[in-house]
């Protein structure tokens, strides 16, 4: 395909992505003037640089810097200047859904008073969400375990013997005493039973729900109430019997200590999993440009941060750098007089698509990475200046015998919002003197931008 057509098609695609990114970020906190403030958190798990700060569910600011202040986290964040923050404003950490990202919610309060000056420390209230729910559930399970332990202890005497057998023996003794009392007093007992039967018959007559001529008037309404009470008592008997037999969740919790421990361990594992998912960050870069010697240069990069100090870089690059192979073929043609003419044709084969897969470690503003750089082994060193949206570094790869390794210097400068420009010098220590330069224009998205893009298409 014609390189000019490829370049034009790439520019059209890039322009479309720019329009889409502007549409999804037009209400984000990246536009407008900002005022910086500070806050202190007891635990900053799941909070990173660029974590959004929302007012009434709308992005109005973001985290700029996270520092360690003693045994607490000191956060520097910026808010849109159009939002008036008064002394009554408070921050609260919240999460979206069961496995959603964390964000900071700002309650503006009653808006009375003057605007807080830049750099003021704002209080942060304890967060809400699944983390808090898991802690509460764990505390409840511990209380249930303690109650069941107390019940078991109460059913044992000072020597540790089970008292249930003793209780049964006492009941048997009581029944024997009742039998001795009734012997010889059958006639009296029969009269007592007849009197009780007459009393219950009268009571049934007075509380019959269908009784129309009852002298008790409104007392006839007691019948339906007693029916409901009787049904409730029967249900309670069934529930208590199931709990005693260890049936159901409550029964197992009351009868088996191992179940309590397993549920507590499960909640802890889920809590750790949620924290790991919340801690993952992503950074996507797409750029295209031209080189002074070889033509077009297009790049796609994906940086995945499972932890702030570790990352993986995946990517695809298309350009004409790198090793190439040559094949030469001879063709023979017959001319007048029967003589043959020999013609040699040389064909150069180049691999345009190359792949990146690197493992890196970040130490403050420096990052060291190693792995595949454009399908060959190499190493890289990066330096970040996040306050100005600048990243620069060196890469050493493509160790060719005739030309030597390719030493590349690059620098990316943020132009506006998600747009950046990339400058690079190629083959800076080349043996054949084929040093060149590349200038590109690109877009860089964070995981917050991607979440907004997915939300736009999901509507």
CA–CA distance, 186 with 172 (Å, rounded to integer): 21
CA–CA distance, 439 with 424 (Å, rounded to integer): 7
pLDDT for res 127:
62
Q: Give the CA distances from residue 32 to residues 216, 355, 447, in Å, rounded to whole numbers and listed in that order.
A: 79, 38, 21
| Distance, C-alpha 93 to centroid of its chain | 14
pLDDT for res 19:
67
pLDDT for res 326:
52
CA–CA distance, 195 with 183 (Å, rounded to integer): 20
pLDDT for res 215:
44
CA–CA distance, 300 with 387 (Å, rounded to integer): 24
Q: Which residues of the chain have pLDDT under 50?
A: 25-30, 213-217, 219
- Residues 322, 326, 330: CA angle, nearest 5 degrees: 170
Cα Rg of the chain (Å, integer): 39
CATH 2.40.30 fits 32-127, yes or no: yes
pLDDT for res 165:
72
pLDDT for res 67:
87
pLDDT for res 65:
87
Q: How is 349-418 classified by DSSP, letter by letter? A: EE--EEEEEEEEEEETTEEEEEEEETTEEEEEEEEEEGGGTEEEEEEEEEEETTTEEEEEEEEEEEEETT
CA–CA distance, 367 with 299 (Å, rounded to integer): 20
**Architecture of the domain defined by 280-457:** Beta Barrel (2.40)
CA–CA distance, 84 with 35 (Å, rounded to integer): 10
What is the rounded (10 degree) CA torsion for 211, 214, 216, 221? Answer: 10
pLDDT for res 68:
84
Q: Do domains 32-127 and 280-457 have the same CATH topology?
A: no
pLDDT for res 178:
79
Q: Where are the domains of the chain?
A: 32-127, 132-274, 280-457
Structure tokens at 395: 């890469």
pLDDT for res 214:
45
Q: What is the sign, positive or negative, of the torsion defined by CA atoms of 285, 286, 290, 293?
A: positive
Q: Give the CA distances from residue 368 to residues 133, 407, 444, in Å, rounded to whole numbers and listed in that order.
A: 39, 15, 20
pLDDT for res 408:
92
pLDDT for res 361:
94
Beta strand 390-400 with 404-416 is antiparallel
Beta bridge partner(s), residue 441: 288, 421
Using the structure block, give the residue that is written with the tokens 């998912």. Answer: 277
């Amino acid at each position: 395909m014609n390189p000019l057509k490829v370049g034009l098609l790439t520019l059209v695609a890039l322009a479309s992505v720019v329009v889409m990114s502007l549409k999804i970020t037009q209400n984000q906190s990246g536009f407008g003037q900002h005022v910086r403030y500070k806050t202190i958190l007891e635990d900053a798990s799941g909070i990173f640089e660029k974590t959004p700060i929302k007012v009434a569910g709308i992005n109005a600011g973001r985290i700029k810097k996270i520092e360690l202040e003693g045994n607490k986290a000191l956060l520097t964040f910026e808010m849109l200047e159009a939002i008036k923050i008064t002394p009554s404003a408070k921050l609260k950490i919240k999460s979206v859904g069961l496995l959603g990202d964390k964000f900071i919610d700002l309650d503006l309060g009653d808006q009375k008073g003057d605007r807080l000056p830049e750099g003021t420390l704002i209080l942060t209230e304890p967060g809400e969400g699944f983390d808090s729910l898991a802690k509460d559930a764990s505390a409840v399970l511990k209380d249930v375990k303690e109650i069941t332990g107390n019940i078991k202890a109460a059913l044992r005497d000072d020597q540790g013997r089970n008292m249930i057998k003793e209780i049964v023996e006492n009941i048997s003794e009581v029944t024997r005493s009742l039998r001795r009392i009734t012997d010889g007093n059958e006639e009296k007992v029969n009269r007592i039973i007849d009197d009780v039967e007459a009393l219950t018959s009268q009571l049934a007559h007075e509380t019959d729900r269908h009784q129309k001529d009852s002298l008790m008037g409104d007392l006839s309404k007691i019948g339906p109430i007693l029916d409901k009470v009787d049904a409730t008592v029967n249900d309670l008997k069934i529930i208590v019997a199931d709990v005693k037999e260890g049936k159901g969740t409550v029964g197992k919790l009351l009868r088996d200590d191992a179940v309590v421990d397993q549920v507590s361990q499960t909640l802890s594992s889920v809590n750790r999993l949620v924290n790991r998912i919340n801690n993952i960050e992503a950074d996507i870069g797409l750029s295209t440009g031209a080189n002074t010697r070889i033509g077009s240069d297009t790049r796609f990069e994906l940086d995945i941060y499972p932890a702030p100090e570790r990352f993986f870089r995946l990517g695809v690059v298309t350009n004409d750098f790198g090793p190439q192979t040559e094949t030469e073929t001879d063709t023979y043609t017959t001319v007048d007089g029967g003589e043959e003419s020999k013609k040699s044709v040389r064909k150069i084969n180049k691999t345009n698509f190359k792949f990146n897969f690197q493992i890196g470690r970040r130490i403050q503003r420096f990052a060291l990475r190693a792995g595949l750089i454009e399908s060959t082994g190499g190493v890289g060193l990066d330096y970040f200046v996040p306050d100005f949206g600048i990243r620069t570094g060196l890469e050493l790869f493509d160790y060719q015998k005739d030309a030597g390794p390719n030493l590349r210097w690059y620098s990316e400068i943020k132009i506006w919002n998600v747009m950046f420009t990339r400058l690079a010098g190629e083959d800076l220590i080349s043996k054949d003197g084929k040093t060149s330069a590349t200038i590109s224009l690109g877009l860089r998205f964070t995981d917050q931008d991607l979440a907004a893009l997915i939300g736009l298409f999901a509507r």
